[in-house]
Structure 1
Amino acid sequence: MPSPFPRLLAVCILGLIGLAMPPLATPGHAQADRCPKLVATSPFLSPPRLTALPAAMPQPREVSLTFVGHATFLIETAGGVTLATDYNDYVRPAIVPRVATMNRAHSTHYSLNPDPGIEHVLKGWREDREPARHDLEVDDLWIGNLPTNIRDWEGGTIQNGNSIFIFRAADLCIAHLGHLHHILTPEDLGALGRIDIVLAPVDGSYTLDVDGMIEVLKALESPVVIPMHYFNPSTLERFLARLADSRYAVQRQPSATMMFSRATLPTTPTVMVLPGR
């Protein structure tokens, strides 16, 4: 009778390989373990905290998202947590958020004088160019980040100069791509896991070019894409035309605020254009 040892050894090796591989986004999967909080042991990720009651409370399994303008969104959870992305001195939400995230690309993405009422100010970079690491939980909101590189004004590269921030609430994962300047690697995609809503810069010049951004969005396979950082209507329309050619549906929303839940996510990839100033 042949020894079972070789077969057992092979099974063990395959199991170890499976554990070592990063989790990859799978279209149509709704299981909770696709969100990055459960792969937070990755060296790429980190989290934040929250405060204040939003004007219109989301229902228990909803998240409210408002496009304030440029690259700033206000995220509000059912638990009353408020967060502003790319918080700066020019475009701010009407309320003081409990949490603010910032990136360093230029002054419309950060503030040197954030409102003192903000409990948690999270920078997407460190001055020593080491990766910023956030892993913060505030009530029903979790925040992490994936460091990315950016170009400097001379065309060089600033290692770990910005971050993609990831927010999880109501079993939804929202990724703010920030001032993304490069394609995401398989390791990046594995660290991000399942992303349900992508807030994507679509200017095509200051950040990633249009072809590169479409490549990133296709790799993420998220049900919802919300454009930002486009400066003028013609730039936005150019991006929408290209994305429509890639079989994305395009919906123009009448309000800058939308409620999202897992149950109401679109079944086909959809670009939702929110009015913003």
Structure 2
Amino acid sequence: MRLVFLAFAFLLVPVMAATQEVRTPSHCIALADQIDGARYIQRASHNVEVAPETVRIHYIAHASFLLRTAGGLNMVTDFTGFVGNVPMIPDVITMNHAHETHWTAFPDPAIPHVLPGWGEEFGQGIDHRVDLGEVLVRNVSTDIRSQWSGVEENGNSIFIFEVAGLCIGHLGHLHHEPSAEQYAAIGRLDVVMAAVDGGMTVDLPTMMRIISRLKSSIVIPMHWFGEFTLDAFLTGMRDEFQVVEVGGPSLDVSVDRLPARPTIMVLRPEWLREEGE
């Protein structure tokens, strides 16, 4: 009887394992090879079904993006408490407190994973490593440095999402070029959201140098104040990066759609809203 029970239990193991969400391994901490036959990213609406091994990126506003997975997980960066007129409770929110446009002191208590980019004590920093099966969310702490020489060590975080074989990084309200140790902790990013205001965060030459070193396949500008600011960044990067005006707020990204040449994808921010509104 015992042998029969053990045999039955053994047969259950692969069935149970098959029901668990499995994350496709990423290459954040390794150099990615060239991908043959890569295609451009597809424009997409934020609230339709996401294809397998794909991430939908929707630029909400300022530095807030919705990242949506094929498994239905919704993650919002630099969450301020409002994403639009949709009844959505994100599964994960990340925040940075350099300015009130990057965080809220009163996130909805129904949000399962609230990830501040700073520690409970001034200058303490924080370490996040949230494994949701389909997605791993982690951070690298950086300093907040004001133009008046004030410094809050480890007050900002670069958040990294490892999902669908991709490494997607959000630089947050970055105030300085990462150190060698921080670059190593960040790893190789396929997609990076970068603040390109040139004043409130790092200056444009520094941000351009950071982006060049990260060698991401896709760069999404954020935190820009008008076309003049955005154009200054694009002009400075055109020799090294192709520039694509997406013409909307959303993209679908997958490993097999990464562009062969590093590309800046310009998204136009738009609050989330129900389809047809």
Superposed CA offset, 1:30-68 (max 9, x none):
7xxxxxxxxxxxxxxxxxxxxxxx721211110111000
CA contact (8 A) 1:91 1:108 kept: no
**Paired residue type of 2:211:** L
Superposed CA offset, 1:77-104 (max 9, x none):
1111100000014655832211100001
By relative contact order (CA 8 Å, sep 6+), the higher-ranking structure is 2
Corresponding residue number in structure 1 for 2:206: 212
**2: distance between equivalents of 1:27 and 1:97?**
30
Task: Give the structure-1-normalised TM-score.
Answer: 0.79
Q: 1:79 to 1:91 in 2, by over 3 A?
A: closer
CA contact (8 A) 2:78 2:95 kept: yes
| Per-residue deviation, 1:116 | 2.4
- 1:110 aligns to 2:103 (yes or no): yes
Corresponding residue number in structure 2 for 1:230: 224
Could you tell me which of 55, 66, 76 is aligned with 1:74? 66
Query: Bigger CA drift: 162-171 or 145-154?
Result: 145-154
Task: Give the structure-2-normalised TM-score.
Answer: 0.79
CA contact (8 A) 1:103 1:162 kept: yes
Superposed CA offset, 1:199-236 (max 9, x none):
00000000010000011001100100000000211100
Corresponding residue number in structure 2 for 1:158: 152
Unaligned stretches of 5+ residues in structure 1: 1-22, 31-53
| Per-residue deviation, 1:153 | 6.6
Corresponding residue number in structure 2 for 1:26: 31
**2: distance between equivalents of 1:64 and 1:111?**
24
- 1:181 aligns to 2:180 (yes or no): no
**Paired residue type of 1:195:** L
**1: distance between equivalents of 2:204 and 2:117?**
23
The runs of at least 4 consecutive aligned structure 1 residues that moved more than 2 Å come to 23-30, 89-96, 152-155
Query: Bigger CA drift: 55-64 or 102-111?
Result: 55-64
Corresponding residue number in structure 1 for 2:52: 60
Aligned residues: 231
CA contact (8 A) 1:74 1:93 kept: no
| Per-residue deviation, 1:29 | 5.9
CA contact (8 A) 2:58 2:249 kept: yes
Unaligned stretches of 5+ residues in structure 2: 1-27, 36-45, 271-277
Q: 1:27 to 1:209 in 2, by over 3 A?
A: farther
Corresponding residue number in structure 1 for 2:242: 249
Corresponding residue number in structure 1 for 2:79: 87
**Paired residue type of 1:264:** R
**1: distance between equivalents of 2:134 and 2:221?**
26
CA contact (8 A) 1:134 1:145 kept: yes
- Fraction of identical pairs, as percent: 40
SS in 2 for 1:108: helix
**1: distance between equivalents of 2:109 and 2:120?**
22
CA contact (8 A) 1:89 1:108 kept: no
| Per-residue deviation, 1:28 | 3.1
SS in 2 for 1:275: coil
**1: distance between equivalents of 2:213 and 2:30?**
8
Corresponding residue number in structure 2 for 1:36: none
User: After the TM superposition, which residues 118-129 of structure 1 pair with which residues of structure 2 at under 5 Å, given as runs?
Assistant: 118-128=111-121, 129=123
Corresponding residue number in structure 2 for 1:99: 92
Superposed CA offset, 1:154-205 (max 9, x none):
4311100110000011000100000001112221121111210000000000
Q: 1:24 to 1:56 in 2, by over 3 A?
A: closer
